[in-house]
Each structure stands twice: as C-alpha cells, then as structure tokens.
C-alpha cells in the first residue's frame, strides 16, 4: 500500500507524486544534487557538516549521526561498511516503510553521501522480511542507480566506488538492534553482540561499520543541499530537523505527519490527528513506539523532542504515537505489550529472557482476574532488575512500558486485583 | 537433490554479494522457502553443504526467525497483526471472525492445505489497522467482509 | 603490568586481559575476590549472557560484566557494593523462575553452581507462582550424556565447548526468548572423544553423564587429586572415592597439561581400578614348569622366597646375564628406579620396556597408552627388542616382567615363547594370559593405590597418592623388587622401601630429576630439567 503523509515537509513533500520513486522523477525534483555537491568536498567536510547540523539518529536511540560517522577509522586497510537499518519493527512505527516505498532514491542519496563522508566501500540495506513491497521498491531504485552510474566502480565518474546490497530479514524484532542486525546479516541468529567491541571497530563481517536508520539517511541530502543553519531552522535547539510522526490507535485520522521535532504532542494528537473517536476521551498516549513509557492525557502538553520528553520519564523513540481512549483497559494493553516483548526477546541474557516471560505471565494473570496485591510490587521489582544490565537495550525497552503503566495507570491494575476481573467492559477484545 | 538447480544458481549469485559466504544464508533460506515452503532435514543438509556449515547450524537459524519453517506449510499464510495499535482498532475481533469463517483456530491450517491462519506482531501498518499479511502482500484498512473475500480469493 | 584496585586492594594483573581473566590469572577468582559467574569459563570464548558477573567499575555508570571488560591501568573495581549484591540477587531470582525443583533427584546436587550461588547470592524464597516451562527431561544426547532441558540455564558453555575444543559442534540453542532450548539434531548425536566434559562445565544438572547417573551423592565422595593413567598425557584429575572405591574421575585443572579437560576414555579408565580382573593373589606354580603344573596361592613373602630361589638357581647355572627384565610403563618412577638398581646389581643381560601404542589426537590423547613410558625411558628402560629376542632365541632363561604389555600384538602377541623360560616372575595389577606360563605371580598396586610419581610425554613429573586400599595383600612394584633384591643378597638391598626416600635418591642420582621428587612436585607437577614447558617429543609441538 502506498500511503502519503497528511502533513509533509522536505522529506515527504513529493511523496504524492509516484514518479518521485523513479530515478528520473527524483532527479527532476532536484535529486542527487546533494551527492554531486558532496563529491566536490572533502569527506571530512561533509561529515563535519552533518555533525554541525545536529542530525540525531531517527531509529530510536537518537545518537548524533555525524558523531557516529566520526567513529569510523580514517586510515585502514580493511573494507568499511555502512548498514541501513530498515528493520523497522517497533510497534507503532511505519515511517521507514513509507520512506522506502515512496522515497527510495532519497534514502539512497543519503547513503551515498554518508559513504563518501566515511569512506565506506559497501552498504548493506537490511529490510525486515515482511516489507516485501518496500524491498522491491528499493531493489528497483538500486538497479536504476547502477544503470546510471550512481553506484558501482566510479560513482558519477569519480574515483569513488560504492556498492549496495539489499538483504531481507526473516521476522525477528531484535534484528533491528544494531549488533543483532549485524549477526543476522552474517547469516546467523540475530542475537546482539556484547560491547566492546563496537561496530566501528568490529562490525559487519568483522569490519569497521556504521549503522544508520532509513530516516536518518533520508535527511542527509537535504542537509547537504541547504546547509546546517537551514536544518537547524526546523525543530528545537537540541533536536533539529523534522521527523515523521506515525499516529495510530483510537484517533480520527491515524497516519503519518512530517512535523518539526518539538511539536507538542497534544497538538499532534488533537489537531493534526483529529483527537479521539466520537464520544470518547483520550486516556493515554505512548509517544515514541511501544518501548517508550506511556503518558496520561493530562501530560500530553510536551514538545516532542528528547530533552523535554525525558523530563516526563519517556522518550521520542521512533515517534510512533499510539493513542488510547477511555474505553481501553491498560492491563489489557499491557498484556499485548508484554506478550510482544516476551515473544521477541532473543533469549541470551538472563534478566531479559526470564523477565519478559515472568512479567507477561503475571500481567496476563492479573487481566484474567487472578492477580494478587503483591504482584504490582513484583512487576516493578522485575522491571528494575531488567534495566541497564543486559547486552542490549531490549530488556530496558521491555521494562519501561511496565514502569510507565504502573506509574500512571496503577488504578487499572489495582481494580483488577480488587474485583478479581477486568472492569473495562468496553475495552478492545483481547 | 531437494534444492533445484535454479535455486542453487540463485544462491550462488547471492553468495557473491557477501564478503563471507554465510552472509547469504538468509537470502538462501528465502529462496528455499519460495521453492518448498519450508526447510526439510534433507534441505538443511544440502544447504549445510553449500555453505560449509553443519545441518544443525541451518536449523538453528530457521528456529530463530518467524518467517522460516522446518515443517511443511500450507500454500498460503494469512497473518492478522494483533499488536497494540491494531488491537485498539479491533484486530483481535477480526481474527476471531476469520477463525470462524475458515473453521480453524489461529495457529492452525485448513485441512485442504490451503491457508494457515495466524497472528503476527507489528507489521508497520499501524495507521491502516486492522490489517493482515497474506504471503508477500499487505491488506490494510480491513473490515470483516474485505478480509473474508481476500481469503476466499486464495487458491 | 597494569595495576588495578579491586575492593580497595591493589593488584597487578597481566595486560590485555578482562577483569575475570585477570582475577583467574592471579589465582584470586573465588579465592579472595568473589565474582560468581556461569557463562564464563577460563578455557572457552567469552559469552556475556548470564549477567551474574556484573561488577561496579568506577567512572562507568552502568554495571559492567567482568568477563568482557578489558583491564586498564588504574581501574577501580568493586564487587562488594549494594548495587552488585542486588544485581546478583536479580539474576539468581530470574534464573530460578523456570528452574525445576529437581534437587532431590538431580545428580548435580552438592556440586551445583546454581545451588551454591542461590544460597550465597540469591533470594530466600520464590515469589513466582507462574507455571514453569515443561521440556524434555531425559533426552539421550548420545552414548555418554543425558540432557534435562528444564534444568538448563542457557549459559551456552556446552555449545561453545563442542565448537571450540573437539570442534564437533553438536549442540545448539534452538528457538528464541524464553522458549530457547539446547538441543542436538536428530541423527547427529553428541559423540566425540571429549563429550563427557560438558557435564563438568554445565553449572546445573542439565547435562549429566550416564555413567554417574544416580550412582552416589557427591557429598559422600572424597576428592583425591591424582593423574589419569590411560595414556602418556597424564591428565590431572580428582578421584571421587567412597566406600573404598573410586566412583568416578573428574578432570582437575592443570594449565600445563590438560587445562580443564579429560578425554572420555581416560575419564572412564577409573573402572580399571576396581575391575573384576584385578590380580589379587600371589601365586606360585608347582608340580611342573615350562607352562605346566598348577598355580598355588601363597602370601607375597612366601612367593618372593620361591622367586628368589628360582632366580638364584638360574643365575648359578646360566649366569646373571641369562636374566632379562621388562619394566612396566604403568609403574611409578620410584618403582622403576628400584628395578633399575636391581637390574644393575644383579647384572641382567638385557632390560627394556614394552609400550603399547594406539591412536592420538591434536588435543590430549597421546599414542603411548601408559602413564609413565617416559619415566621408564629416563630410567634406562628402552626398546624391548633385545629382551624379546633373547626370550625368543633361548638366551634368556629367566625373566622378571612387570605388567603384561609384552603380550600385545606389536610385541610377542602370545605366551608361547614365554613357556620356554625356566623362570618367569610376573608383577601385575591385572590378570592376563601370563598366568598360563608364569612361575610366580605377584599382585601389585595400581597408581590409585600408592604414593608415586609418573613422568608424562612432555617430561612433566606428576604425583599420585593412595585413594583406595586393595582388599587383598598388594605391594608396590618397588616394594616387591626391593624384597626380591634383599632375598638375593644384592648390594644395596636391605628389603626396606619407602617411596619418598626412594624418590629423593632418584632425584639425586639423575640430573634431570634434580629437585623433582615425590615430596617436591606438588599437585600441579614439575617439569624435568631441560624438558621445555609445553614441548612434547611425541607430537613435536605444543601439548594441550
């Protein structure tokens, strides 16, 4: 399905035009001008520009892209790789899919500029296995690029070679974790690696590697074309640029909204997405993909940028905004959430493997009406034991939603225990 | 030989793209699934030979990923996303209706080997819920009738 | 060498090592500095998934796993803080959530790291009332090992072992998340020469040996340090003794010999100690010689008196050089030193040692299937061809033979030729067809039944000590020869024999053994002078 964002900006303004997906159509709209410009500059200068622009990674962690590029060794005999993380599997997120389906060349241009800036020889685009259509669109764009000399031995005639290989995943959320992706890329189970070593030293196939998200790459051509100041004109001081917010759940207009970072959450939910469904009130909103702690309706007056969201004990994540209204049982929602994390844990670390299983079983038992008072304390305790102590952040991502729910919707849980059943007769079916 | 010559050629082409041959294992598994729908013991042994690893190494990888199977599969997989945004918009009720329509439970296959019905985690179509993935295709903005007709149209 | 502080104490550690490796290198790990761990093993690759070894490192906000953090000069590590305590408690509680309450029926009880660390670092009682996963509890993995998937804590030591040591890779973790299980593939059993090591390294009772299953509770066992006698590698081990019986062997760590491993055949060779075919009676042939007559049971002293009589007769009639001697490559250095003196004092015509050879591998298994072949050679017992030729050719009238290796097809192959001897005196641990032709049979002690040193193929001298006492009258080879020598009035033989004194005398006489004697080699052994550490004349390269 080819969907167009409701609100567009520089990333998605041409998405309604199908021809934008072709090389010809993309160039007609100014595509690959940024690459041509970048190739005239020193790689270090391009990297410095992106760093100065303050582009944060859009894959959920928010790490400065320019800084990450700087970790790649400058002088080395080893091949250097880029990886485009197109494994988008965070529940509530669907922006990368649309960026690939409707703007494949934009992403490809960003990859090529990044390759020039870091000296990378090859890029692996790792697309989640279920995104068959997006993968097909990317393959087509890659083929066009090769045909036109934008990829291969001499990119645009320069003595700069770059290749792009697209690989499909096969259905495992954890392959969206940087090093889990690298393991999967190498043909193994996608179990994240312990760090050190870090990907810039030991990455794909043991070589220096930088992993960036689809959207992160997509911003790059615009930064090169228009400069750091221009980019900083969008968003906040600490979080410049736009992002694609994906709104879903119990709202009038679920969809994609390309807005500057820092746009208030309530503005997105009530104005852009039209607010709750007829006759209902918003109860809670998960602001950044399902790993991020939920906010109650009373706390939605927060700019959507990490520096503000952190104060409310949540984060931007992937900007997947999920709206729940007052018919929704938060215990039931927690069942869905904890089931997901139990299913997707790779199983390596004790706390994650056992913690995701145990918390899911407890929450499910509470929903069934067999909860005990002490269960809530146990849930908080387990979540605390999962945080910050594992090979990767998946255990944190599994713990945070539970902490958020108990922080803001404890009454829902207490009622289940008190009544011995779920009191939300109108809630979505489980 | 279980793996056809055509698929073997495709696998060799994939291997050429990666610095280490094993990088092509997931692409090879996709090719094998396209041909056979699953990885049998014999298939695992043949892949092991191609990649110079052990059969259990192949099966270990198969066991980790949702889209790979080690038992014969029906012709079609129909998975309704039941993650949070989709559940908020009635995905699970839809799944129940489809169960009734096909006469099977989620996780089972129709006796004629036509369709396996199941549920999946977030498929990246949250604003277009409820939705389902049928093989390589997404069917979004579903209602019960639409979903039923998609299934009925499968051979 | 970098200097770090651990719990306030400054220690110097080797560079380029992780915290756990450094603690292990300096002998402090779980021996002054407690860092409990499951997935880490000193001889396997780093895993990092059990999370039990988390410690505080000054300057790093999160807890770090000690198994993966490289040591840096000036690093300050704390293992004793409240944060660390809570982290360990968390890991233990979570590990036990799905762990079955099998202790009453589990072989591992008493030597189970899950029990130990739960007791030391875990919570008092379980808060979980959720049903536990139900998996295969008695899965046959192959000829030697049983798997209980429910008990597994997914530390992946077994997976890494099979990949890295025998490089056979039979075990894998299948599935994902809390549905992960270790398993083999049907038709590809766990079948390699080192398979039973996985039971040692499994911290819980998931992998156990069929041999030891339900045999005896480990707390009844006394662990006696010793050495395997299956081949010339001399893998270090503990003999597990109860009721005056060796119930099992488990490997003992020696980084210069066998690291932490032992081959399956060596591990199972404990069965030879209490085997039904032990030679348990001193016997003398009467009513005929040259292979006829019957064997009569007597006491050892009486048997030796008869042996001395027969030998004196031969020496008087044919001369001392018609006597030949074969050392046993299974006897101790002390025993063989006494035999050497005996041969020299008597003036035997020839002596040697027959060593049976078999398969070897690139890991631990050596071709020479005896623990002290090198020791025998160092004591002047070389190629046995001269001895065997004299026996075949009739120049030998009497033979003093220790062990029955000469019966191997690579040497005599059968007893026929021996029947031609006037007098055959045999000292052995086990019965053999030598009883058809021997004139005197003396039971001697197995290395598990005496104090002795053995020299492995790399020239390392290791000691054994008595773990069990035979239920019959048995002497050491040395004691027997000493008595025989005294009965023959040989110079320097007064009938007494004390292993430590003999060992000292040996180390004073042979330069290579200087300082290397029973009282001085300790539990890890010592290399002979001039034997390069890690060099092995048999393989020409590094030993294990």
At residue C538, does pLDDT exceed 70? no
Domain boundaries, chain B: 5-64, 76-152
Is the pLDDT score of C66 beyond 70?
yes
Q: What pLDDT, in 10s, does the model give residues C386-416?
A: 999 999 999 999 999 999 999 999 999 999 9
Q: Are residues A351 and A272 in the same domain?
A: no
A chain contacts of residue B136, beta-carbon cutoff 8 Å: 132-133
- Indicate whether A114 and A77 sit together in one domain: yes
In this structure, are A65 and A113 located in the same domain?
A: yes
Task: Using CB atoms, pick whichever of B55, B63, B64 lies closest to residue C188.
Answer: B55
Which B residues, 11 through 30, put their C-beta within 8 Å of a C-beta on chain A?
17-20, 22-27, 29-30
What domain range includes position A161?
Answer: 18-232
Q: C396 phi and psi, to 5 degrees?
A: -95, 130
Do A125 and A219 fall within a single domain? Answer: yes
Identify whether residues A202 and A170 lie together within a single domain.
yes
Q: Are residues C203 and C138 in the same domain?
A: yes
Closest chain C residue to the Cα of B54, Cα to Cα: C169
pLDDT tens string C461-471:
999 999 999 99
In a domain, C8, yes or no: yes
- Which among C49, C65, C97 has CB closest to A358? C97
Whether residue A427 is contained in a domain is answered as: no
Domain assignment present for A2: no
> Residue A382 domain-assigned?
yes
Claim to verify: residue C354 and residue C391 sit in the same structural domain:
yes
Q: Same domain, yes or no, for C220 and C352? A: no
Among C13, C46, C80, identify where a domain stops: C80
Give the total number of structural domains in chain A. 3
How confident is the model at residue A355, as a pLDDT? Answer: 98
Domain assignment of residue C58, yes or no: yes
CATH code for residues B5-64: 1.10.10
Residue C227 domain flag: yes
Same domain for C226 and C292, yes or no, is no
For residues C114-135, give the mean pLDDT: 94
For C237: left if phi > 0, alpha if psi spans -120 to 50, otherwise beta; the answer is beta
pLDDT value at position C230? 97
In a domain, A389, yes or no: yes
Q: Stretch C246-255: mean pLDDT, rounded?
A: 98
pTM of the full structure: 0.95
pLDDT of residue A80 exceeding 80, the answer is yes
pLDDT > 80? residue C534: no
Q: What CATH code is carried by the domain that includes residue A292? A: 3.10.20.600
Same domain, A274 and A218: no
Output the domain CATH number for residue A336: 1.20.1440.230
pLDDT of amino acid C531: 73
State the pLDDT confidence band at C286, using cuts at 50, 70 and 90: confident
The vertex-A362 CA angle with C86 and B121, nearest 5°, equals 105
Task: Give the residue from A325, A357, A392 where a domain finishes.
Answer: A325
Are A35 and A108 contained in the same domain? Answer: yes
Q: How many separate helices (H) and strands (E) can be counted in chain B?
A: 7, 4
Percent of chain A whose pLDDT exceeds 90: 97
The reply to whether residue C177 touches residue A356, judged by beta carbons under 8 angstroms, is yes
- If one counts the domains in chain C, the total is 3
To test the contact with chain C by mutation, choose from A183, A389, A417 the residue with the greatest count of C C-beta atoms within 10 A, namely A389
Does C246 map to a domain?
Answer: yes
Are A376 and A321 contained in the same domain? no
DSSP string across A331-394: HHHHHHHHHHHHHH--S-SHHHHHHHHHHHHHHHHHHHT---THHHHHHHHHHHHHTT-SSSTH
C341 shares its domain with C290: yes
C365 within domain boundaries = yes
Confidence at residue C540, expressed as pLDDT on a 0 to 100 scale:
41
Q: Which CATH number goes with the domain that contains C46?
A: 3.10.20.740
pLDDT of residue C288: 62
Number of cross-chain residue pairs from A and B with Cβ atoms under 8 Å apart:
161
Residues C148 and C41 in one domain: no
Cross-chain residue pair A1–B136, CB shorter than 8 Å:
no
Residues A170 and A256 in one domain: no
The two tokens of residue A139 are 């393959």
- The neighbouring-strand residues paired with A83 are A124, A211
Do the Cβ atoms of A46 and A113 come closer than 8 Å?
yes
Domain CATH for C191: 3.30.70.20
Instruction: Quote the mean pLDDT of chain A.
Output: 97
Mean local confidence (pLDDT), C362-381: 97
State the CATH number of the domain containing residue A207. Answer: 3.40.50.11540
Per the model's pLDDT, the better-predicted residue between C534 and C178 turns out to be C178
Mean pLDDT in residue range B31-42: 97
Q: Does residue A192 sit in the same domain as residue A257? A: no
Answer yes or no: is C434 within a domain: yes
Question: Do C296 and C265 fall into the same domain?
Answer: no
Among candidate residues C247, C272, C297, the one where a domain is terminated: C272
Q: Which among C124, C217, C199 is positioned nearest to C157, based on CA atoms? A: C199
Residue A1 pLDDT: 41
Q: Quick check: C188 and B54 CB within 8 A?
A: yes
Same domain flag for C247 and C266? yes
Q: Does the structure show a pLDDT above 50 at A178?
A: yes
Q: A131-135, A194-198, B51-55, C439-443: which range is least confident on average?
A: A194-198
Cα–Cα distances in angstroms (integers) from residue A13 to residues A19, B76, C141, in the given order: 13, 37, 61
**Confidence check: pLDDT of A416 > 60:** yes
Residues of A in contact with C63 (CB under 8 A): 388-389
pLDDT at residue C461 in the model: 97
| Average pLDDT rounded to a whole number, residues A301-314 | 97
- pLDDT higher than threshold 50 for residue C544: no
User: Any idea what the CATH number is for the domain that residue C405 is in?
Assistant: 3.40.50.740
Residue A12 is assigned to a structural domain of this protein: no
Would you say residue A179 lies in a domain? Answer: yes
Q: Is the same domain home to A81 and A204?
A: yes
- Tens-place pLDDT, residues C467-500: 999 999 999 999 999 999 999 999 999 999 999 9
| CB-CB neighbors (< 8 A) of A382 in chain C | 94
Q: Which of A165, A199, A232 is the last residue of a domain?
A: A232
pLDDT digits (tens, 9 = 90+) for A355-375: 999 999 999 999 999 999 999
- Give the distance from residue A344's alpha carbon to the nearest chain B alpha carbon, in angstroms: 9
The answer to the question of residue C468 being in a domain is yes
Mean pLDDT over all residues of chain B?
97
How does pLDDT run across A259-284, given as a tens digit for each residue? 999 999 999 999 999 999 999 999 99
Question: How does strand C139-140 pair with strand C145-147?
Answer: antiparallel
Q: What pLDDT sits at residue C291? A: 56
Mean pLDDT over A395-408 rounds to 98
* Domain that includes residue C56, residue range: 3-80
| ipTM value > 0.95 | yes
Fold of B76-152: Glutaredoxin (3.40.30)
Same domain for A286 and A204: no
In a domain, C108, yes or no: no
What local confidence, expressed as pLDDT, does residue A430 receive?
86
Same domain, yes or no: C387 and C450: yes
- Say if A430 falls within a structural domain: no
What's the residue count for chain C?
544
Domain boundary among C224, C254, C272: C272
Cβ C338 vs Cβ C328: under 8 Å: no
Residue A171 confidence class, pLDDT cut points 50, 70, 90: very high
Please indicate if any CB of chain A lies within 8 Å of the CB of B125: yes
Neighbours of C363 (CB within 10 A): 17
Distance CA C258, CA C445 (A): 25
Are C339 and C430 part of one and the same domain? yes
What gap in Å lies between CA C102 and CA C214, rounded to an integer?
13
């Amino acid at each position: 399905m080819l969907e167009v964002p409701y609100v567009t900006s520089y990333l998605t303004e041409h998405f309604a035009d199908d021809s934008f997906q072709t090389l010809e159509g993309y160039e007609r709209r100014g595509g690959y001008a940024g690459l041509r410009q970048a190739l005239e500059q020193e790689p270090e200068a391009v990297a410095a520009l992106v760093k100065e622009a303050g582009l944060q990674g859009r894959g959920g962690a928010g790490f400065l892209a320019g800084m990450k590029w700087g970790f790649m060794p400058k002088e080395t005999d080893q091949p250097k790789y880029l990886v485009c993380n197109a494994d988008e599997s965070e529940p509530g997120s669907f922006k990368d899919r649309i960026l690939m389906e409707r703007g494949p060349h934009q992403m490809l241009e960003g990859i090529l500029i990044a390759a020039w800036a870091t000296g990378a020889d090859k890029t692996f685009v790792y697309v989640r296995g279920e995104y068959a259509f997006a993968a097909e669109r990317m393959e087509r764009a890659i083929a066009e690029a090769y045909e036109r000399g934008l990829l291969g031995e001499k990119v645009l005639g320069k003595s700069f070679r770059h290749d792009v290989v697209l690989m499909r995943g096969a259905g495992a959320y954890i392959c969206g974790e940087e090093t889990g992706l690298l393991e999967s890329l190498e043909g193994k189970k996608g179990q994240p690696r312990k760090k050190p070593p870090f990907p810039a030293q030991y990455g794909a196939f043991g070589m220096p590697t930088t992993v960036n998200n689809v959207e992160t790459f997509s911003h790059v051509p615009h930064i090169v074309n228009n400069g750091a100041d221009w980019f900083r004109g969008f968003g906040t001081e600490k979080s410049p640029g736009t992002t694609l917010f994906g709104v879903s759940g119990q709202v009038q207009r679920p969809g994609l909204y390309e807005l500057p970072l820092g746009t208030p959450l309530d503005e997105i939910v009530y104005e852009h997405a039209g607010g709750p469904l007829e006759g209902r009130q918003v109860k809670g909103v998960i602001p950044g993909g399902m790993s991020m702690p939920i906010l109650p309706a009373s706390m939605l007056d927060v700019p959507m940028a990490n520096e503000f969201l952190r104060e409310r004990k949540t984060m931007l994540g992937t900007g997947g905004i999920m709206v729940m209204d007052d018919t929704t049982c938060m215990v039931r929602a927690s069942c869905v959430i904890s089931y997901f994390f139990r299913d997707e844990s790779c199983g390596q670390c004790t706390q994650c493997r056992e913690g995701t299983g145990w918390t899911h079983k407890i929450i499910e038992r509470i929903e069934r009406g067999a909860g005990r008072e002490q269960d809530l304390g146990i849930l908080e305790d387990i979540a605390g034991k999962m945080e910050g102590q594992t090979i990767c952040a998946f255990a944190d991502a599994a713990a945070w939603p539970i902490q958020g729910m108990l922080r803001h919707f404890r009454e829902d849980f207490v009622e289940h225990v008190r009544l011995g059943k779920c009191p939300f007769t109108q809630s979505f079916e489980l | 030989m279980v793996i056809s010559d055509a698929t073997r050629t495709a696998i060799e082409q994939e291997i050429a793209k990666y610095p280490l041959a094993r990088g092509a294992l997931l692409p090879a598994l996709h090719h094998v699934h396209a041909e056979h729908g699953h990885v049998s013991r014999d298939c695992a042994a043949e892949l092991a030979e191609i990649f110079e690893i052990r059969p259990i190494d192949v099966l270990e990888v198969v066991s980790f990923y949702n889209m790979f199977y080690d038992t014969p599969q029906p012709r079609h997989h129909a998975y309704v996303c039941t993650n949070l945004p989709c559940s908020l918009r009635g995905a699970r009720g839809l799944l129940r209706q489809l169960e009734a329509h096909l006469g099977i439970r989620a996780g089972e296959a129709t006796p004629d080997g036509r369709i396996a019905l199941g549920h999946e985690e977030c498929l990246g179509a949250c604003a277009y819920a409820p939705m389902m993935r049928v093989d390589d295709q997404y069917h979004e903005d579903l209602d019960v009738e639409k979903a039923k007709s998609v299934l009925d149209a499968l051979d | 060498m970098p200097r770090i502080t651990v719990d306030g104490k400054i220690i110097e550690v080797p560079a380029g090592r992780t915290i756990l490796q450094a603690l292990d290198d300096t002998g402090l790990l779980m021996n002054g500095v407690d860092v409990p761990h499951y997935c880490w093993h000193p001889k396997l690759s780093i895993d990092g998934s059990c999370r039990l070894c988390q410690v505080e490192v000054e300057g790093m906000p999160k807890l770090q796993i000690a198994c993966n953090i490289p040591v840096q000069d000036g690093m300050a590590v704390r293992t004793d803080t409240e944060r660390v305590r809570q982290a360990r408690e968390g890991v233990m509680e979570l590990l036990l959530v799905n762990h079955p309450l099998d202790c009453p029926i589990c072989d591992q009880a008493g030597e189970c790291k899950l029990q130990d660390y739960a007791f030391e670092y875990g919570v008092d009682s379980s808060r979980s009332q959720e049903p536990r996963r139900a998996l295969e509890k008695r899965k046959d993995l192959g000829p030697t090992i049983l798997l209980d998937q429910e008990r597994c804590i997914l530390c992946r030591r077994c997976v890494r072992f099979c990949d890295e040591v025998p490089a056979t890779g039979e075990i894998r973790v299948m599935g994902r998340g809390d549905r992960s299980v270790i398993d083999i593939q049907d038709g590809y059993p766990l079948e390699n020469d080192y398979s039973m090591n996985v039971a040692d390294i499994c911290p819980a009772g998931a992998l156990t040996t069929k041999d030891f299953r339900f045999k005896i509770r480990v707390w009844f066992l006394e662990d006696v340090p010793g050495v395997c006698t299956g081949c010339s590698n001399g893998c270090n081990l503990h003999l597990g003794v109860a009721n005056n019986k060796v119930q099992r062997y488990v490997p003992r760590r020696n980084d210069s010999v066998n690291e932490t491993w032992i081959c399956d055949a060596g591990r199972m060779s404990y069965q030879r100690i209490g085997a039904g075919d032990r030679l348990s009676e001193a016997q003398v042939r009467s009513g005929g010689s040259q292979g006829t007559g019957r064997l009569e049971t007597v006491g050892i002293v009486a048997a030796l008196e008869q042996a001395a009589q027969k030998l004196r007769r031969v020496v008087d009639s044919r001369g001392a050089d018609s006597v030949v001697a074969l050392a046993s490559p299974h006897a101790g250095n002390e025993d063989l030193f006494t035999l050497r003196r005996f041969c020299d004092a008597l003036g035997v015509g020839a002596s040697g040692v027959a060593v049976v050879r078999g398969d070897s591998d690139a890991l631990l298994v050596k071709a020479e299937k005896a623990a002290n072949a090198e020791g025998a050679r160092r004591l002047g017992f070389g190629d046995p061809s001269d001895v065997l030729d004299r026996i075949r050719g009739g120049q030998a009238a009497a033979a003093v033979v220790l062990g029955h290796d000469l019966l191997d097809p690579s040497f005599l192959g059968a007893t026929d030729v021996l029947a031609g001897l006037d007098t055959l005196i045999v000292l052995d641990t086990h019965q053999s067809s030598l009883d058809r032709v021997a004139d005197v049979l003396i039971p001697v002690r197995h290395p598990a039944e005496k104090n002795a040193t053995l020299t492995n193929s790399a020239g390392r001298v290791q000691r054994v000590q008595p773990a069990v006492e035979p239920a019959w009258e048995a002497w050491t080879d040395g004691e027997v020869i000493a008595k025989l020598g005294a009965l023959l009035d040989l110079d320097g033989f007064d009938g007494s024999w004390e292993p430590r004194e003999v060992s000292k005398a040996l180390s004073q006489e042979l330069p290579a053994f200087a300082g290397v004697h029973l009282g001085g080699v300790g539990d890890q052994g010592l290399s002979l002078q001039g034997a390069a550490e890690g060099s092995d004349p048999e393989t020409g390269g590094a030993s294990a």
